[in-house]
Each structure stands twice: as C-alpha cells, then as structure tokens.
Amino acid sequence: MFEVILDTETTGLSTTEKHRIVEIGCIELENQIPTNKIFHEYLNPQRAVSEDAYKVHGYSDKFLSNKKTFPEIVESFLDFIKDKKIIIHNAPFDLSFLNYELKLINQKMIDKTNIVDTLEIARQKYPGSQNSLDALCKRFNVNNSKREKHNALVDCQLLKEVYINLIDQ
C-alpha cells in the first residue's frame, strides 16, 4: 500500500482572502516505510505573503518571486499523489488550499475519501491534550530540533514519525 505524507505552506490562513500555496512537500511511503521518493516545490503565489505567514515559514516575496507557479507543477504533483492514501496533519487546512489552487485552473479537486487526518486520529486517542505536530513530536520523542520555522518537507519528515507512532499505539 502506497501512502503520501503531505504538507503545505501558504501566504495566509484563508482561501476566502485569496491566500495561496507557497510550498508543497510530499514523502512517499510503502507499507509505512519511506521509498525515498519525494515531491517538493516552492511556489510563486503571485500575491504578497502576509506578515503572519512570513513569521511562520520565513519565505519572502523576493525568495518566491522566481519560483514556478502552481499550474506549472500541478501535473507532476497530481502524478505523485495519484492512487495513494494521503496523510495530512489538519487535513481541512491543506486540502482547502490544494482544492482552491486546483479550482483556479479548472482541475478536478482532491477527494476527501482518500485522506487520513492525523490531527483527527490524535484527538480521538488523546482527547483534551495538545495535538499540534510539535506536541505529538514531544509525546512520541520525535526530535524536532530542525524545525526552527515551518517547512513543508521538514514537517513531512516529522509527520511521518508521528503517523507511524499514532497508528502503532
């Protein structure tokens, strides 16, 4: 069984304010073991990064200005996730942005039935506890010292460890 750990970084918190994706990271797993296949792109969102988002990930408008746009990478991204279960922490957030980007270019949206939300699993297993990615790393002794700022690929690496612990418990 193939799965993909997926994370995004964005220009802000809401697609209703036309915020966009600035980074997509994916790590492929086969039977919960990394295959060494990754998908990673920084994206030119074609709009300004909000101050709050910049504080989270540190990607400036200047840094993103010469990156590819979502339409330029969409085919390789969709090929990467095709027919795989997608593992996301707080799936509604990332999915809303991915589907917003897909809708802008008249592409079929990603179906929720193929998604596993690790935040939902954590909330069921540990009701009332902190279930952020950092809190779960701490709970499972996953070293997250590399995570000074949010980065889609680093967060995927951490989520891979958290996911395996969550479904193993």
Query: Which residues carry out catalysis?
Result: 150
SS3 state at 95: helix
Beginning with the edge strand found earlier in the chain, give each strand of the sheet holding 33-42 in spatial order. 33-42, 21-30, 2-10, 85-88, 115-117
User: Which residue in this structure is represented by tokens 């915020």?
Assistant: 19
| Distances 44 to 23, 65, 105, 138 between C-alpha atoms, Å | 9, 5, 15, 33
d(CA 125, CA 116): 14
- The helices-and-strands tally (H runs, E runs) of the chain is 7, 5
Which residues make beta-bridge pairs with 2? 30
Backbone angles phi, psi at 103, to 5 degrees: -65, -40
